[in-house]
Each structure stands twice: as C-alpha cells, then as structure tokens.
Structure 1
C-alpha cells in the first residue's frame, strides 16, 4: 500500500499552497500532519487530503515549557478537531503519550520510522491505537548522503511504502542540510525563499514530482493513512 505524508512544520501559507498544488496536479492523496492553524489546510480538498496533527513535545525535553504534553495535545486538537491521526514533531513518544492519544480517541499514530525497509505492516497496539510505520523521509535521505535522483525504495512493493515530505523542502527543492540552514531565516518571506531554491542538482521537489508522475502514469492507488488504519482494524492484524 502506497501513501504520501507531509509534516507541515510551521510552513508559511505560500509554501503549504505550493505543496498542495503539486498533489492536486497529479491527483494523488496525501496525509498532512499539521503544527498550526492554516487557511490553506482548512480549505484543502478532503477527497485528496487528510489532516492529522503534528504536536511539538520537544520543548518539554529542553525544560523550557510551562505546558504539559496534555496541554500541547489539546491545543492542536482544538485547531483540528476532525483529526484521527498523529505524528509528533521529531517523532517523540512514550507509553504515556501513546495512551493519551488513545484516550483522545485518535485512530492511529505514525511515529515509527524504518528507513528504506520493506515488509512493513500496520498493527494494533494494546490500547487499540493503530501504529503505521513509514520508510522514507526527505531530510533523512540527504542525511544518508543519497542523491535525489532515486528514492532507493520501490513504490510498487507489496507491503507499506510510506513517504514523508516537508513543504519547505519541497519548495526549496532541498538536496542537503546546508541549503535549508541558509534559507531558514527567511521562512516567512516566500520571495526571499525562492532565491534559495535549488536548480542545480536533483532535490526533494524533483523526486516528489517524479514519484507522483509515475503514480499517475501507472494509475497507482494511493491511500490516506486513516484508510490504512481502518483496513488494519478490519483485517484484525493481531
């Protein structure tokens, strides 16, 4: 089962709109994990896009937040009350946090990252929360030093193939950490960001476009993560 996801990571509206437009052009479904209120997400086509939540618990590790993880979770759910799925920022989780997800009636979590691995399946946790692992992420691809000419994973594999992109890296066509670090001071200025867009070598945007083009040409079925979760529950993986 093939799925595309995006971690919004506080991207500005123009950058979010750019990502949504790419998926709309190719008619490919995508699950968007949101960090904040966005008009672009609010008005997005729900036939193509699922909105999940992307709470940031990382300040708790640094000890510079007066909030609890329950507070942070409640705040993002208030923005997106329809959300049934969660992937946390930096994939931070614990037994207590997973239980709180279930208490809040979330359907699934997508925090388990297994780069380039095959044979992945969704499965039910002790609290009936469905765990959906994923196996590709843009910033990890360049962390390995891999070229964006190739995703290094077969999108036609039988089991789960789930991509995780970030709108800012799609917009910048990021190919390494240095480009992002140079551009990050201008994240709220789309005109300045364009000055940092990679046009020299294959990058994140190029790879995404090639993957979506292949999906369209081969008429491949893509899934929202909530549909994978419902399928898991109906098939009783455990």
Structure 2
C-alpha cells in the first residue's frame, strides 16, 4: 500500500491541482450570481465561453491523469478498467452538469416534442453523471490510492450530488433555496477534493524523497 501511494505523487499533484483549478470558475459563477454583491458588473465576464471552455479542458485533463496515472504511476482507481472509464465519463458529464459549458435555453417558439426530448436528454445526462460518480466513489475508495480525507472526497461529492438532484425535484419554496445552495456546494466540494488530492500528492512525494535519501 505504501509503495503504491508513494509512487502516485505526480499523478495526485497534477490531477489534484487540475481539479481545484477547474472548479474556480463554476464556484464563482454560481455563488456570486446567486448573491451578487454591489458594483460587480465585471462578474458577467464569467459568462464568456472562454472561461468555461478553458476550465472544462483543465477538468478533462485532470480526470484523465487521475484515471490513468502519470507515466508508470497508478491512477486513483488502481488497475480497474471500470474505474478508469467511469472517471472519463464523469469528466465529460461534469462539464455539462456543473456549469462549465452553458446549455442553450429552450423556451418560446419550440414545439412540445422538442421540449419533451430536451427534458429527457437532460434527465438521462444527470442519471449517467450520478451513476459514473457513484462508481468512481466506490472504486476509488476501494483502491486505497487516496487516503485520509481525500479518500472520502468522492463519496461525499456523490452523496451531495444525489441530495441536490433529489431536492431539485421537490416543488416547494424551501427546496428552491436548498437547490440553489447545492449548486454552489457541488463545485466547491469538487475544488476541495482537488486540494485534498494535491496535498496528499505533495506529502507522498516528500515522503518518497526522504526514503530515497535514507536509502542512498
């Protein structure tokens, strides 16, 4: 176990840093537009597709690094092919579910069949996202490459996502407030997940270097 974790330093550093960095724009976009402070017209710059697309690209790269590892290092799901595939699917669905890529609004002038199809597509996308995230949470936890708080990050993200999705289906005023808070919490937890992975990677690299010095 120690050897496996110790050799994943670069994977955890680059993957964790990528996750954290990619979540900054969604966190700011959700939080500051829900409760906009005065004099913040510059925040609408966040609606530019450049920021969302760049963040989405960073997210995809980070998940790929975490899935397959850097060089000969293991990924966070270990040798599991299902885990690697789920991480890639999770990356793709996250970009569409957590505010990276704005989906066009379909409103006036569109017939009911198109609206129904759009509703089904959005629901299927959300379900695929939940399934992929659940698989990742289970297999990453079982692999044991992540330890400490980092090991619990994906299970926490999965539980929060399921809760927010369930609350979004409740047609009550209080549920709207909880759902809005959840839209901020999900990318924030993703950011914290990246930070925890990054910290573990830095510590693992330092430990590996100390062992190398002692062995030398």
TM over 0.5: no
Larger strand proportion of the pair: 1
Rg larger in 1 or in 2?
A: 2
- Higher RCO, 1 or 2 (CA under 8 Å, sep at least 6)? 2
TM-score in terms of structure 2 length? 0.27
Structure with greater proportional helix content: 2
